[in-house]
A and B are shown apart, each in its own frame.
Chain A
Amino acid sequence: MWFYAARRIVLTIPIALGVTIICFALVYIAPGDPIASLLPPNATASDIALLKHSYGLDRPIPIQYLIWLGHALTGNLGRSIQNSQPVAGEVLRALSNTLLIAILAVLVAFSIALVLGMLAAYRVGSWVDRLATGISVLGISVPSFWLGVVLVILFAVKLHWLPATGMGTSGSESFSLFEWKQAKFAILPVVTMALTPLSIIMRTTRSSLAEVLGQDFVQTLRAKGLGEIAIMRHAIWNAMPQILAMLGLQLGYLLGGSILIETIFTWPGTGYLLNKAILTRDIPLLQGAILILAMAFVAINLVVDLLQTVVDPRIKRA
């Protein structure tokens, strides 16, 4: 297993490098000259050359990439064009806010999906199964940003139960999950976020559990007189590795895909930051946020893979 783990970690390095190449390239596919905004309109050709030199933009692109990579590895992702703050700090601050709702959403999704998926797999074709299938189709078809707007209309505009937007009564600094007045700001974003992972985790639970329930050992358990609940307990542990893998993947998707939901709820996370970067065409901020989020996704996938081998020793993939 240690060999597998070491191998898996080594295999991640080229992927991570590839990710940095794509992020580096983002600046080059952006239209317009990156330094044009820094120059006064009456700049001479020598001024331009001087500025290009000072930013290292006159060097060959591979060299530029290596310099950029060196900076990125030491945590220097440049400064935001908008407010001149270091990008890395801004993104990491926002990341904790995104992690908060993403983890909550995945936990909510997981607990509901597990129950519904088990009920559906236990009686394939029953009304519970149909209900679960219906929910899962809706869950993957619904535009999350629209669902967010509908929930705001219902619970904030019509019923006045929950706040429509923001993070806490006085911003993210004083936010606390343990104080109802603050915590209720997180409810709508979490619910909106949870629906898609809920349907996908439920699908996985249903299909992998149904497969396990069809295996011989389940019949043996039944033959030796075990109750149905005990059988389910055995079965669900056998299906758990796949379900957990899906859970990790969904957490990664939520982290990277939080932009729409955070924009709707003005939740000050990475997605909101990305949206700000797009609106103001702040390419360094965009690039930095994307790099950090993609790396987080790679790391989550790695951890999930390693955990899976711990949970399920049968996995000895090449």
Chain B
Amino acid sequence: MTDMTVGSGFDAGPVPERAPEQRVRGYWQTVWQKLRYDYVTLFFMALIALIILSAVFAPLLAPIDPYKSSMVYRLKPIGYKQFILGTDEQGRDMLSRLLYGGRVSLTMGIVPVVLATSIGGLLGVLAGYLGGRPNTIIMRTMDVFFAFPSVLLAVAISGSLGNGIPNQLLTLTVVMIPPLCRVAETATSQIRGMDFVDAARASGASMPSILFRHVLINAISPVLVYASTLVSACILLASGLSFLGLGVPPPTPDWGLMLSTLRQAIYVQPLVCALPGVAILITSVAFNLVSDGLRQAMDVKG
């Protein structure tokens, strides 16, 4: 956290209205100034936008119906007739399936992180701010979840619940909550001890007001940066679960599931079989590099 944001919080206590708002925007302006000249991050941000847009507009972009199978055109190589990226084991167009597959795979990467950031972040801020017994209860519960490697926890919950989109979303959200909660708690308990929080309390600010206007705004950078690093992890985890048959049921296209069904065909059409993994890899590299860039721009350590 930079001194400037801390300073802005201090100003925000006693002086209401305009002044603090400008200073807070000042922090985000510096972040933007740094990002503007970080061409690597900008490039990968654009790539992510492109991937998301191609998933959103998959119905317009896909050349062929992704569910249309054909016995004649099974496992054709890249560039065969109208199939730009070949066909899968049921003769369905790979390009179309990859475009549609992005819908499920990206949703599974982003939605659980957003949910977990809200739930875990809130729990962490509460634990960090309240301290004492609420902190003990929340954080020791999280410790129990930390006793599981994330893949194992995901397999445990997902394996018991069974497959399907709602179950996968639930599993991934539960897995992502503890780390986000811990980051939020650490950030909050550091801020809690700072003078401007005491000043706000002394000037009679209510607890929600202190929490949201002073603490949360200063704790949010590390939480957001951490959440951005989790998106890539979440995409990998989700595709892993789908690969194990714990994600969307077939025939819905999903990158992880496609990899798993195409595994039988590696002797016939190895290049085509590797394609869904390339999609996962590119997406996950892009998210990782963007989160590295954000970390530097937001000046968060760790």
Contact = CB atoms under 8 A, between A and B. Distances in A.
Contact of B288 (A23, A141, A146, A274): A141
Contacts of B140: 14, 18
Contacts of B274: 146, 149-150, 153
B104 interface: no
B117 interface: no
A304 B272 CA distance: 43
Contacts of A310: none
Interface string A140-158: 1111111101101100011
A263 B243 CA distance: 10
Contact of B236 (A31, A143, A255, A279): A143
A255 B263 CA distance: 24
B157 interface: yes
A183 interface: no
A104 interface: no
Contacts of A259: 151-152, 155, 244
B239 interface: yes
Interface string B254-297: 00100100010011001001101100110011001100100000
A19 B144 contact: yes
Given A149-B263, A157-B270, A278-B155, A30 B161 contact: yes
Nearest to A140: B288
Interface string B143-165: 11101111110011101111000
Given A137-B288, A143-B240, A150-B274, A22 B144 contact: yes
A269 B236 CA distance: 22
A125 B144 CA distance: 40
Nearest to B289: A137
Interface string A16-33: 101101110011011100
B160 A256 contact: no
B13 to A, nearest CB: 31
Contacts of A286: 156, 159-160
Contacts of A140: 232-233, 288
A22 B156 CA distance: 9
A31 B162 contact: yes
B246 interface: yes
Contact of A283 (B147, B160, B232): B160
Given A30-B161, A157-B270, A19 B147 contact: yes
Given A15-B143, A143-B239, A256-B148, A278 B284 contact: no
A63 to B, nearest CB: 21
Given A140-B232, A290-B155, A146 B144 contact: no
Interface residues of A, number: 52
A153 B152 contact: no
A109 B281 CA distance: 20
A153 B281 contact: no
B255 to A, nearest CB: 9
Nearest to B280: A143
B141 interface: yes
Contacts of A157: 266-267, 270
A51 interface: no
Contacts of B233: 140
A244 interface: no
A15 B178 CA distance: 14
A263 B244 contact: yes
B51 to A, nearest CB: 14
Contacts of A122: none
A198 to B, nearest CB: 16
Given A141-B232, A256-B152, A286-B159, A149 B273 contact: yes
Contact of A275 (B143, B244, B266, B270): B244
Contact of A138 (B143, B266, B277, B285): B285
A14 B147 CA distance: 11
Contacts of B14: none
B277 A143 contact: yes
B63 interface: no
A163 B277 CA distance: 22
Contact of B159 (A141, A152, A277): A277
Contacts of A247: none
Contact of A18 (B141, B160, B288, B292): B141
Nearest to B287: A141
A290 B150 CA distance: 12
Q: Which of B141, B244, B273, B276 has the most CB of A within 10 A?
A: B244
Given A15-B144, A259-B152, A275-B244, 11 more contacts: A15-B143, A31-B161, A31-B162, A137-B288, A143-B259, A149-B266, A150-B274, A256-B151, A264-B263, A278-B159, A278-B245
* 9 A-B pairs with the lowest CB-CB distances in the bound complex, closest first: A146-B277, A18-B144, A256-B149, A257-B151, A256-B152, A141-B284, A153-B270, A30-B160, A141-B285
Interface of B: 140-141, 143-145, 147-152, 155-157, 159-162, 232-233, 236, 239-240, 243-246, 256, 259, 263, 266-267, 270, 273-274, 276-277, 280-281, 284-285, 288-289, 292
Interface of A: 14-16, 18-19, 21-23, 26-27, 29-31, 137-138, 140-147, 149-150, 152-153, 157-158, 252-253, 255-257, 259-260, 263-264, 274-275, 277-279, 281, 283, 286, 290, 293-294, 297-298, 301
10 contacts: A15-B144, A30-B160, A142-B284, A143-B277, A145-B240, A149-B263, A149-B273, A149-B277, A157-B266, A293-B152
